Amino acid sequence: MEYLLTGGTVWTGDGFARLEVAVADGRIVSVAPTLDRKGREKIELKDRLLVPGFVDVHVHLREPGFSYKETIRTGTEAAAAGGYTAVMPMPNLNPVPDCLEHLREELAAIGRDAQVRVLPYGAITCGERGEALADLAAMAPYVAGFSDDGRGVQSDDRMREAMREAKRLDRPIVAHCEVNDLLRGGCIHDGVWARDHGFPGICSESEWRQIERDLRLVEETGCRYHVCHISTRESVELIRRAKAKGLPVTCETGPHYLVLCDEDLRDEGRFKMNPPIRSRADRDALVAGLLDGTIDCIATDHAPHSAEEKAKGLRGSAMGVVGLETAFPILYTYLVEPGLVPLETVLDRLIVRPRRIFGLPGGRIAPGEPADLTVLNLRSPHTVDPETFRSKGRATPFAGMHVSASVDKTFCAGELVWDRDERVAEVSMTLLAKRPLTADVWELTFAGDTSAIARPGQFVNIAVEGCFLRRPISVCAWCDGQLTLICRAQGAGTRALCDAAPGTAFDMLVGLGNGYDVAKATEKTVLVGGGVGVPPLYALAEALCRRGAPPTVALGFNTAADCFYEEEFQALGCRVLVSTVDGSRGEKGFVTALVEKTDCDYAFCCGPEPMLQAVYNLPQLQGGQFSFEERMGCGFGACMGCTCRTKYGSKRICKDGPVLEKEEIVW
Ligand code: DOR
């Protein structure tokens, strides 16, 4: 598919510019201030920032071996949601990828389930036990480098041997630096906070001592060497000096080390990771290291664990926190906005340098580059809510913190792998204006946060006097900050809504999907709708017209007084057929009679269940997609648990989009 990303600001690597970007077959084909629209689907970026996809050089995806914590699928979904188009998982798995046979298990899961690019590490030593060297040569063609992450390699000789072999294979050693003899059972940084609160501490020396040793070995062997998650000021200084000497050394730190310090700790598992969050002085030294280029990458060390493993406070919880879904919003809000670090530096450390170190393609928005792209929204205030994470892990020290930016879309090899616009959000909206369409049907316009509404046919669920309406209402039109709905006053709730005075505020759930697959449409597609199912079809018709394939629209109503949207569909360029049951408009009878007379091979339907069922039974329809307006009358907006019976058992239809393929439905 060819599409055009338009209406956004592009980070060119040198600066920011208003440019359009055309994508075809997974690659960027052209970049210019304005590009030809013909034959290209337009994706409106609404003033957002388009950057190359982020690369995280340090994550834990837990498969094979620990799928209860995370899987390749959930971990890479989380990566996509964080704006990452490539991640590099660590080898503390079961089996540990320490030979080709073990690595193959991980590669098979990646090949099967990864949503973004995944380039794993092989282990340095067998089983990450720090003893015999792993089969580095056999793994080298498939891995980014070698690491025993989770443990330091204690033996100098073993590390020397590993560096010599890695150098021969032209792969970096990616080192978790930790001297076991200095750990002494600590669980957080050995600083004032630990002493004041009576926790055993992990000293800074346990990290920098081993970096110091390794730097000597790098000098000796010439091996490329990357230090994982540095957390102390001494580490920054050691690496700064090594770089000044010209050693082939790079390093990373994590958002939590850059933004938090031990004064922020609480006795909760979500503040526990290894290395620990250090002192304020360490944090400031890391920020300085980021600014002067000593620190090359910001990596999350995304390390999910189960809720039970993280429920045992600072002392008893497993080490590790998730980070893929919060990295950019946190970095932007707590480093860029206060003026501590320029946005370009953050982007460089998430996008450019990781690729340079590990020799990955991309990192520039230019013709010929892979279409690995991320859309950032720098005006998207919200609170970090782990319940919305794609990751199975929920433990983050950032939970509940305010952030002002979000990752809105991620494209990997041209495929849309994350669309924040599909999320469900609770917002408050104020009724701006109302207009009667018929005696009991009103057009209502609201003002508020519409950023979660973005797809044809989405629904909102409105709370009237503290209670969600039994029925969600489909979105007719929206733009930044304004939402239009058509509401029929049927019961007490909808009556109260239609009677409300402009200025009244309502709580709403927005972004309740209705995910018609626009790509399936052909020139013989018919949209069939009735009642409140009509507005979603209008939005869908708009999308199809934009693609240059105006559909036929068959609308069914009870009486002429019910008809709405006929002229709007016509204005789009659709052929519109209307039937009313009482014969007062268009054709007398049911909408099925209209469809029967129409040359069609594919239908999208939205409306009450009896209508859907009748359409479903039409012989000429081979495929088709159906939206269960009627079934959503359960108040699903509140419980999120609405299901529908299908061939594959009960299928949840709310969050995934209440749309089913014809063959999936059991009536
Ligand atoms: O906190 C951590 N968790 N640090 C590590 O080095 C390993 C990681 C994990 O695998 O859970």
- Measured from the Cα of 321, ligand 1's closest atom is 1
Query: Hey, whose CA ends up nearest to atom 5 of ligand 1?
Result: 150
Place of tokens 């080898």: 91
CA of 180 to the centre of ligand 1 (A): 15
**Ligand 1 atom with the shortest distance to the CA of 90:** 10
Instruction: Report the pLDDT averaged over residues 470-482.
Output: 75
pLDDT at 1: 64
Measured in angstroms, how far is the CA atom of residue 56 from the centroid of ligand 1?
15
What are the DSSP E strand ranges found in 135-187?
A: 173-175
Report pLDDT digits (tens) over 21-57: 999 999 999 999 999 988 888 888 988 999 999 999 9
- DSSP label at residue 45: -
In this structure, the residue with its CA closest to atom 7 of ligand 1 is 150
Determine the longest span between alpha carbons in the chain, in angstroms. Answer: 91
Please tell me the predicted confidence (pLDDT) of residue 253: 98
Measured in Å, residue 294 CA sits from the centre of ligand 1 at 23
Judge contact between 101 and 403, C-beta under 8 A.
no
Q: From the CA of 59, how far away is ligand 1's center (Å)?
A: 9
pLDDT for residue 560: 87
- Does residue 386 surpass a pLDDT of 60? yes
Query: Given the CA of residue 304, which atom of ligand 1 is nearest to it?
Result: 11
User: Among 59, 60, 66, which residue has the most ligand 1 atoms within 8 Å of its CB, making it the best to mutate?
Assistant: 60
What pLDDT score does 625 carry?
Answer: 77
Ligand 1: centre distance to CA 69 (Å): 12
To the nearest whole number, what is the mean pLDDT of the chain? 89
DSSP code, position 302: B
In the predicted structure, residue 430 carries a pLDDT above the cut 70: yes
Which residue has a Cα nearest atom 6 of ligand 1? 150
Distance 141 CA to ligand 1 centre (A): 25
CA distances (Å), origin 254, targets 66, 84, 250, 304, 330: 23, 15, 14, 15, 11
Give the pLDDT confidence score for residue 514 in this predicted structure. Answer: 58
Query: Is 496:464 a contact under the CB 8 Å cutoff?
Result: yes
pLDDT of residue 574: 94
pLDDT of residue 622: 65
pTM: 0.72
Give the per-residue pLDDT at 489. Answer: 83
Ligand 1: residues with CB < 6 A are 60, 92, 149-150, 176, 273-274, 303, 319-320
Mean pLDDT of 330-348: 98
Q: Give, using CA atoms, the residue closest to atom 3 of ligand 1.
A: 320
Which one is predicted more confidently, 442 or 260? 260
pLDDT band at 637 (very low <50, low <70, confident <90, very high): very low
pLDDT band at 91 (very low <50, low <70, confident <90, very high): very high
Beta strands in 228-277 (DSSP E): 249-253
Q: Which residues does the annotation mark as catalytic?
A: 301
- Higher pLDDT residue, 104 or 488? 104
Q: Which of 230, 274, 396 to mutate to test the pocket of ligand 1 (most atoms within 8 A of CB)?
A: 274
